[in-house]
């Protein structure tokens, strides 16, 4: 799943969707090659203007907060886990991503957002892991524990690209704090990402300009939303390389790092 994204976007960068455009201003300049969703910080997002004519570039908190949560304390318990009255630990519920194929299911917490509050999350590259089970030299059988190889993935011809998202306004009922929160929509992986993110075979729903426009500024019905969710960005458009296993501690997390034992993914033309 897409839990690590990057936004390296200079001031005055123009973001365009067909006839509409907006510029990154100095206060929005980003130099974050690695953003961890688990920090629950802010990211730049495209949000439809109230009149529907174009979009604004805004900062939203990554981590969808369901409207039934009343306070930051409840949000923290959801995100970090907690012990109930019997002392039993309740594991955290991570809502950094939303499964695209399930967005519109009845009573799903994402349904209203998918119908009414779609957004675009900007990206300059994201991170996923490939799981490899090496063969045991004695038995010839795959090991039970996988070795994990991280990759940095971007687009060849688009320095800033579009991930589908949904957003939710939320207000702390004790303090009055108001934020807008989002989740990145995911879909079944294309051929390339099914080889890289081979444990889940999922990927962020990356959209071309036409579909990004329709997702953000169009008025798709439920069938139209489902059609967009099924879109597979072509393998040939991606750039990718392996990176160091400790990339999260590196000054430059995107730096290439080669593993001699690793067979590279095969790209569909």
Confidence of residue 63 (pLDDT cuts 50, 70, 90): very high
How many degrees, rounded to 5, is the angle at CA 45 between CA 39 and CA 50?
Answer: 135
In terms of residues, how long is the chain?
A: 269
**What is the reported pTM?**
0.95
pLDDT value at residue 206: 98
Confidence class for position 134, pLDDT limits 50, 70, 90? confident
Q: What is the distance, to the nearest Å, from the Cα of residue 181 to the centroid of all Cα atoms in its chain?
A: 13
More confident residue, 140 or 195: 195
Question: With the C-alpha atoms ordered 94, 45, 114, 194, is the resulting torsion angle positive or negative?
Answer: negative
Q: Please tell me the predicted confidence (pLDDT) of residue 232.
A: 95
Where in the chain does DSSP place strands (E)? 4-9, 14-17, 20-23, 30-36, 42-48, 55-62, 82-83, 89-90, 97-99, 118-123, 125-132, 147-155, 161-171, 178-188, 202-204, 206-207, 238-242
Q: Is the dihedral of CA 113, 115, 116, 118 positive or negative?
A: positive
Multiple choice CATH, 4-125+157-191+200-237, 1.10.10.10, 3.90.1680.10, 3.30.1960.10, 3.40.50.300: 3.90.1680.10
Q: What is the pLDDT of residues 193-242, one digit of tens each?
A: 999 999 999 999 999 999 999 999 999 999 999 999 999 999 999 999 99
- Cα separation of 189 and 233, whole Å? 9
Question: Other C-beta atoms within 10 Å of 178: how many?
Answer: 9
* Cross-strand pairs, 59: 44
**The pLDDT of residue 262:** 93
Q: How many CA atoms lie within 13 A of 242 on its CB side?
A: 17
Instruction: List, for residues 160-184, the tens digit of each pLDDT value.
Output: 999 999 999 999 999 999 999 999 9
Give me the percent of the chain exceeding a pLDDT of 70: 100
Looking at residue 135, its pLDDT comes to: 78
Domains of the chain, by residue range, sit at 4-125+157-191+200-237
């Amino acid at each position: 799943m897409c839990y690590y994204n990057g936004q390296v976007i200079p001031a005055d960068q123009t973001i365009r969707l067909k006839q509409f455009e907006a510029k990154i201003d100095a206060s929005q300049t980003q130099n974050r090659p690695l953003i961890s969703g688990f920090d629950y910080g802010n990211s730049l997002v495209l949000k439809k203007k109230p009149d529907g004519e174009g979009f604004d570039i805004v900062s939203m908190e990554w981590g969808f907060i369901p409207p039934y949560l009343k306070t930051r304390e409840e949000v923290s318990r959801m995100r970090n886990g907690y012990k109930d009255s019997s002392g039993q630990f309740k594991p955290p519920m991570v809502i950094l991503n939303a499964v695209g194929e399930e967005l519109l299911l009845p009573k799903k917490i994402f349904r209203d957002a998918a119908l009414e509050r779609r957004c675009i999350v900007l990206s300059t590259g994201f991170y996923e892991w490939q799981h490899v089970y090496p063969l045991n030299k004695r038995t010839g059988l795959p090991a039970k524990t996988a070795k994990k190889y991280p990759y940095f993935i971007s687009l060849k011809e688009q320095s800033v690209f579009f991930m589908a998202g949904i957003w939710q306004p939320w207000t702390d009922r004790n303090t009055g704090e108001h934020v807008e929160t989002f989740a990145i929509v995911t879909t079944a992986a294309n051929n390339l990402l099914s080889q890289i993110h081979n444990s889940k075979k999922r990927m962020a729903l990356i959209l071309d300009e036409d579909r990004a426009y329709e997702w953000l500024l169009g008025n798709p019905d439920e069938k139209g939303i489902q059609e967009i969710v099924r879109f597979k960005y072509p393998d040939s458009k991606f750039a990718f390389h392996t990176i160091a296993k400790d990339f999260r501690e590196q000054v430059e997390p995107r730096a290439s790092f080669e593993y001699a034992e690793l067979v590279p993914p095969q790209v569909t033309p």
